[in-house]
Amino acid sequence: MEPLVKLRGIVKRFPGVVANDRVDFKLRRGEVHALLGENGAGKTTLMNILYGLYQPNEGEIYVKGRKVRLRSPRDAIDLGIGMVHQNFRLIEPHTVLENIILGLREPGIRIDFERHAERIRLLAEKYGWRIDPWMRVWQLSAGEKQQVELLKILYRGADILILDEPTSVLTPHETRMLFKALRRMAGEGKGVIFITHKLGEVMEISDRVTVMRRGRVVVTKSTKETSPEELAYYMVGRSATLDFGGVEFAPGEVVAEVIDLEALSDKGVPALRKVSLAVRSGEILGIAGVSGNGQVELAEVIVGLRKATGGKVIISGIDATNKSTREIIELGVAYIPPESVRWGIIPEMRVVDNLFLKAYRYPPYSSKLILNWGRMFEKAEELVKEYEIVTPSVHAKARSLSGGNLQRLVLARELSGLIGEGIPKLIVAAYPTKGLDVRATNFVHKTLLRYRRLGAGILFISEDLDEIMMLSDRIAVMFEGRITGLLERGKADKEKLGLLMSETAPS
């Protein structure tokens, strides 16, 4: 049978890197094809080429048997290719309907909105979605927005669907709904390309899987004929074993406590509603939950970046409620911010600058006024070695580092005890592995476990239930600004957590 898409010998070069190196790829009708690889393996670049966003330096693209040139997404859309990006491209103040028909080519000068609305409703129902075309997009949940993106594509009659890490914003329930819909689309003879770096999802949804590493295709296999272990091996080039054995749970005294904490979100609505928690030294307290249920606000209030409107934060026995960030840093609190590449790194400054973003103001790295660059460079070299940060030099700009290396840099800055004596007392880690590849994730996990052993109290926020269950000594679940449950290690399973994470949970 004629493949829907055939890519042959695709080469795409960016300054200093070859993002795609002679890539061959085929998408058949009626299949869900997973495109698996670490961050920076070239998956997204390849799909951007197929979607007309990038032009390849070499290689040929065949769509439905015909050789084509894709100069812009418009060309791709005309050929029936649609893409759902990681961050949605929707106009929030507009309605679902307006978003879907925006850019539609149709003769005539009037738009029959009612007719379109009806057709969109029918289309949505076919895939088991309940979407009101007249809703404003900002009123929708992340999962629903994704459905709108898919509807936008399907409404144009696309039969080649590209989804870039579609599950990263979804709850487990929404993920299941998405998978059901994708199956159905495949059943209609459409081809679905599913970009991911999560092995579990590959096994669950895909018919075939293509693994990419460093811009090249390593293997394309039928999913049935492979295993997660094998795929992990292809992804990282060696067998990645996730071994956390031999960690005793021996918690010490409470290092941080929040009591009836309340705070507002950026939009001024309550984000925390009387949250009470305590972190003890030598323990990892996991915070599970779907993003946007108050986890980040909780972290920010603790580290002094957000004002508490009620309740208390006590760190090492000292009332730290609404103290300045600097005072809290001096109490021994380390903070790994969410999306640390954006919010914890300055790309345009050097590695050394980023390493000393906090410690620059303390001796021995500076006196009252003057910076001691000699000391800083010395220490930076050490840290680069210790944390295996891959960088040309400590003088290099941070933007030249990959995501994984930037996260190592953040860990080095936060955890290596540059400020004060010894290790931090409390580590607040918000989504520290989000978007990282297997090896970098592994490094973060190991590092957190090491500090747990050293006696730090760790508040570990993540959406990835596997990760939470693997690392945490206790797991608190947050939903709508409340702690809906607190489970001991070993007593938590995915089903229980999933219930607590959604409104159906009996709290």
Partner 1 sequence: MRSARISRRRFLGVAKEAAIGGVVAAGLAGAVAGYLGGASSVAPETKTVTETVTRKAEAKPLKVGYVYVGPVGDYGWSYGHDRGRKWADERFGLPIESFYLEKVPEAEVGGAIETLIGKGADLIITTSFGYMDQTAEYAEKYPDKYFVHISGYRSGAAGNAPQNMSAAFAEFYQLYYLNGLAAGAVTESGVVGYVAAFPIPEVVRHINAFVLGANYAYKKRTGKNIKAHVEWIFNWVAPDKARSAAIALIEEKNCDVLAFTEDTPSVLQVAEEYQKKEKKVWSFSHYSDMREYGPKAHLTGQIANWGPIYLDFYRMVSTKSWISVDIWGRIGDYIPYRWRKPVEESTAGQPEGVVYLAPLNQAIPEEWRAEIKRRYEEMKELLFEPFSVEGNLGEPIRDQSGEVRISGSERADHQMLWSMDWLVEYVEEPLPKVKEPLRQAFPLPFLYFPRLGRCSGLGATR
Partner 2 sequence: MPTKIETRLGTIRIERRLTYSRLASAATTLTAFLLSLLVVAVILRVIGLDPARAFAVIGEVFLVPRLLSESVKQSIPICLSALGLAIAFKMNYWNIGAEGQIYMGMIAATGVVLLHAYYNLFHESMLLPLMTIASFILGGAWCLITGILKAKLNVNEILTTLMLNYVAILLVDYLVHGPWRDPKGYGFPLSIEFPDQAKLQFLFGSPACTGLLVAVVAAALVFCVLDYTRLGFEIKVVGQSLRVARYAGMNVSKIILLGSFLSGGLAGVGGLSIVSGIIGRLRPGASPGYGYTAIIVASLAGLNPWLVVAASIFFGGLLTAGGALQASMNIPRAATQMIQAIIFLFILVGEFLKRYRIVFERGGRT
Residues that bind partner 2 (CB under 8 A): 14-16, 55, 69, 71-72, 74-75, 78, 303-305, 324-326, 328-329, 335, 337, 343-346, 348-349, 353, 357-358, 360-361, 366, 369-371, 373, 399-400
Closest approach, Cβ 71 to partner 1, in A, equals 14
Collapsing DSSP to helix, strand or coil, 420 comes out as coil
Q: Which stretch binds partner 1 (CB under 8 A): 102-110, 141-149, 187-195, 397-405?
A: 102-110
User: Which range of residues in 107-115, 256-264, 289-297, 477-485 is near partner 1 by CB under 8 A?
Assistant: 107-115
Q: In this complex, which beta carbon is closest to partner 2, that of residue 20 or of residue 147? A: 20
Pairing of the two strands 457-461 and 284-288? parallel
Give the other-Cβ count within 10 Å of 206's Cβ.
25
Residue 379, exposed/middle/buried by CB under 10 A (0-12, 13-18, 19+)? buried
Bond into 56 cis (ω within 30): no
473 phi and psi, to 5 degrees?
-80, -40
Q: Which is nearer to partner 2, 250 or 390 (CB)?
A: 390
* Residue among 74 and 399 whose Cβ is closer to partner 1: 74
User: Which is closer to partner 1, CB of 95 or CB of 433?
Assistant: 95
* 106, 386, 388, 466: which one binds partner 1 (CB under 8 A): 106
Taking phi over 0 as left and psi of -120 to 50 as alpha, with beta for the rest, 269 belongs to beta
We find the least distance from the C-beta atom of residue 100 to partner 1, in angstroms, to be 10
Interface with partner 1 includes 463 (CB under 8 A)? no
Out of 66, 110, 238, 385, point to the residue binding partner 1 (CB under 8 A): 110
Residue 108 contacts partner 1 per CB under 8 A: yes
Q: In the complex, what is the shortest distance from the CB of residue 114 to partner 1, in angstroms, rounded to a whole number? A: 5
Going by the DSSP 8-state scheme, the letter that residue 138 receives in this structure is G
At its nearest, how many Å lie between partner 2 and the CB of residue 480? 25
Judged by beta carbon, residue 101 or residue 287, the one nearer partner 1 is 101
Shortest Cβ 71–partner 2 spacing (Å)? 6
Least gap, CB of 72 to partner 2 (angstroms): 6
Nearest Cα neighbor of 230 from 255, 204, 211 is 211
CA distance 351 to 345: 9
446 vs 52: CA distance, rounded Å: 40
Binding mask 37-76 for partner 1 (x = CB under 8 A): -------------------------------------x--
The answer to the question of residue 157 lying near partner 1 (CB under 8 A) is: no
Give how far Cα 397 sits from Cα of 372, 400, 436, Å: 20, 6, 20
Q: Does 105 bind partner 1 (CB under 8 A)?
A: yes
Is the distance from CB of 377 to CB of 356 less than 8 angstroms?
A: no
- Going from the C-alpha of 261 to that of each of 294, 312, 353, the distances in angstroms are 11, 6, 34
Task: Please say whether the dihedral angle defined by the alpha carbons of residues 43, 46, 51 and 55, taken in this order, is positive or negative.
Answer: positive
Q: Which residues pair with 251 in a beta bridge?
A: none
Does position 101 bind partner 1 by CB under 8 A? Answer: yes
Binding residues vs partner 1 (CB under 8 A): 74, 98, 101-106, 108-114, 134
